[in-house]
Amino acid sequence: MENNIYSPEYVGQLFERMSATYDRVNHITSFGFSRRWRRQCVRLLELKPGMKVVDFMTGMGEAWPHILEGIGTAGRLTAVDFCPAMIRMAEKQRKQFDRYSIELLVEDALHSSLPDQCADAVVATFGLKTFMKSQIDQFAAEILRILRPGGTFSLIEV
């Protein structure tokens, strides 16, 4: 049974169902800290204008304001989430940031199509709980694969 809750099918269906209320529920159940923690997680990346950042398990783009503040209009944000409903919500969010370069990908963070060493920084906020140990190892390998030498990453989970 344990492996079932970590299957991509189960997690995908779960996030499809929760997409409309995810941010609100996350905010309430964290007593408002989820937004602060996202900001702190991104701040640890020490982003600079022009950097290329990958936001894995982007959800609805909740971390974007903090990422875009750091990379500016010269930077590039690639937002990856395997849940189409979350990407649809992120698409609405993207309209608020039309001056910025944001690419949305409906892909699995464990097996993305991103090229090797394409990112200066990688961030993931609150998606690790959906992985079992072997998937966390896969995710770490994927981060290592796409980060440029000297790149940084920052991950957070409740």
Per-domain residue ranges of the chain = 2-156
CATH 3.40.50.150 is the classification of domain 2-156 = yes
Identify the CA nearest to 125 among candidates 89, 85, 158.
158
pTM (2 d.p.): 0.85
Q: Which of 46, 36, 97, 92 is nearest to 68 (CA)?
A: 97
Q: Are 60 and 79 in contact (CB under 8 A)?
A: no
Q: Is residue 156 a contact partner of residue 41, using CB atoms and an 8 Å limit?
A: yes
Dihedral angle over CA of 52, 140, 80, 148, nearest 10: 20
Q: Which pLDDT value is given to residue 97?
A: 97
Q: Write down the pLDDT at residue 108.
A: 94
pLDDT score of 129: 87
The SS3 assignment for 74 reads: coil
pLDDT at 28: 66
Per-residue confidence in pLDDT tens, the chain, 158 aa = 445 766 677 666 666 666 566 666 666 666 577 789 999 999 999 999 999 999 999 999 999 999 999 999 999 999 999 999 989 999 999 999 999 999 999 999 999 999 999 999 999 998 898 899 999 999 999 999 999 999 999 999 87
Q: How far is CA 45 from the centre of its chain?
A: 14
